[in-house]
Amino acid sequence: MTAVLKNWDFMRILRMGMGLWLIYSAFVDHQPLLGLLGGLFALQAIMNVGCCGSGGCATPNTRQSTSKTIEETHYEEVK
């Protein structure tokens, strides 16, 4: 329950707002598919996941050091 109530950032609030608006529009316009889309957005906001999962698309912050040395390329002139 604490995961649902904490860490509400801008994107999570935006997803919840879009989800609730789409669900409301679905009831008003009698559009069940729009309601499913709104439910998807609301569920993403409640579970704090995006399209790729929680942090699935993020790149790592630390840079891995490589022990390989870069060899110099030698070119041969062709006449």
DSSP string, the chain: -HHHHS---HHHHHHHHHHHHHHHHHHHHT-HHHHHHHHHHHHHHHHT--TT-TTTTPPPSSPPP--PPPPPP------
Is pTM beyond 0.85? Reply is no
57-72: average pLDDT: 65
pLDDT score of 69 more than 90: no
Q: For 32-52, what is each residue's pLDDT tens digit?
A: 999 999 999 999 888 887 766
